Amino acid sequence: MRDRAELVIIGGGIVGLSLAYHLARMGMTDVVVIEQGYLCFGASGRNGGGIRQQWSTEENIRLAIQSVRMFKQLARETGHNIWFRQGGYLFLARDAETAAALEKTVKLQNRMGVPTRMISPATARRLVAGLNTEGVEVCSYNSTDGVLFPWPAVWGMAAVAGKLGVEINTFTRVTGIDVKDRQVVKVVTDRGAVATQRVVNAAGAWSWQIARMAGVELPNKPYRHEILVTEPLKPFLEPMVSDLEDGTYFSQTMRGEILGGIADPQEPSSMETNSSFRFLARMCNSMVRILPRLSRVKILRQWAGYYDETPDGQPILGRVEPLDGFIQLNGFGGHGFMLAPAVGKIAAEWILRKRDHQIFQRYDLDRFNRGETRREQLTIG
């Protein structure tokens, strides 16, 4: 492992790797990435691959539009097929209040160029054969949302960054961050130390632990989020279907499997990734309710990953006062993967070319002290 670097990125998930990838392509390769497990060990290897632009805040819509554009290029750029399929996202609203809130977000999305439409349950049934719309008031649908296979996106970014000269260390655990006179000076790992003036905390569910090593308290809390996958079927389900009432979502992967999860308001914060029967039962119940024809499909596997949750459902990005050289790129909850291309690029331009961006003011850690938080309404889980 290198003993010094211009920049150390803690976390080899999609956020850290997207930053490494963009920095490397802009010419900055004196970068060390430290990943505690294998690539795809954390949430980046455990999520459902949903990529959507239906958000309730301008910042997230903008980041999502940019990220979709970048995902469309990623296979060509990296030589790794990420199986990005724009089959759309269909949200189901079951009560008037949810419907009204959804309609408001759709108007905002339309203003920003996302072609989302409010559609009737009857129209939704034409999009998804066999959809049970009993109790559904109205739906929103955006045809340019989609799903991808997360693993090759992670590998592709890592491969390109590595080839250009970034050092990616897997199975390496950060044990300490040395700070001198309010300046980060060193990252210590179980495989040696790296002297550096700049450290990026892109550790997802582990971000709060990493921050504490530098004496910074983050409000982030990790939550287990469970998910399951069925046997592969021939393609029949175009959009991702998501029920806003209970936070169920499922889609068909390019391999043909039905893959999805469900929110659980009773899930406590933990670093747990065990599988539960409770999830299995609730998810199956919801799948049958939404799409009864799934009842005979066989489930192959269930697993779990993490949501790195902040109090307002928005990420923590940028500097933390009064420390120099400690940059946060974490707290993405359940939508870090889909925003990572844009966030990585914006962060790379900020670090390398000092080009500022509003997300570093809007989403900085200090917003919780200033009371300038604005909740993202359209989070699932």
Q: Which residues bind other proteins (CB under 8 A)?
A: 37-41, 45, 151, 155, 171, 230-231, 266, 275, 277-278, 280-282, 284-285, 287-288, 294-303
How many Å apart are CA 323 and CA 341, to the nearest integer?
Answer: 26
How many Å apart are CA 8 and CA 198, to the nearest integer?
Answer: 6
Based on the number of CB atoms within 10 Å of its own CB, is 343 exposed (0-12), middle (13-18) or buried (19 or more)?
buried
Q: Find, among 62, 337, 57, 353, the residue nearest to 202 by Cα.
A: 337
One-letter amino acid for residue 312 of the chain: D
How many Å apart are CA 250 and CA 117, to the nearest integer?
Answer: 20
We find the least distance from the C-beta atom of residue 235 to other proteins, in angstroms, to be 18
Element (H, E) at 39: none
Of 154 and 338, the one with the shorter C-beta distance to other proteins is 154
Of 100 and 271, the one with the shorter C-beta distance to other proteins is 271
We find the least distance from the C-beta atom of residue 214 to other proteins, in angstroms, to be 29
> Residues near 171 by Cβ (< 8 Å), separated by ≥ 6?
35, 36, 37, 38
We find the least distance from the C-beta atom of residue 287 to other proteins, in angstroms, to be 6
* CB count in 10 Å sphere of residue 180: 8
Of 291 and 342, the one with the shorter C-beta distance to other proteins is 291
Q: Residue written as tokens 């949501």? A: 307
Strand partners, 140: 91, 118
We find the least distance from the C-beta atom of residue 169 to other proteins, in angstroms, to be 12
Of 12 and 333, the one with the shorter C-beta distance to other proteins is 12
Of 63 and 205, the one with the shorter C-beta distance to other proteins is 205
DSSP secondary structure code for residue 268 in this structure? P
We find the least distance from the C-beta atom of residue 60 to other proteins, in angstroms, to be 29
We find the least distance from the C-beta atom of residue 38 to other proteins, in angstroms, to be 5
> Residues near 338 by Cβ (< 8 Å), separated by ≥ 6?
50, 51, 52, 64, 67
Write the CA distances from 190 to 170, 204, 264, 324, 337, integer angstroms: 12, 20, 36, 24, 28
Give how far the C-alpha of residue 362 lies from the chain's centroid of Cα atoms, to the nearest Å: 18
Q: Find, among 337, 330, 336, 338, the residue nearest to 363 by Cα.
A: 330
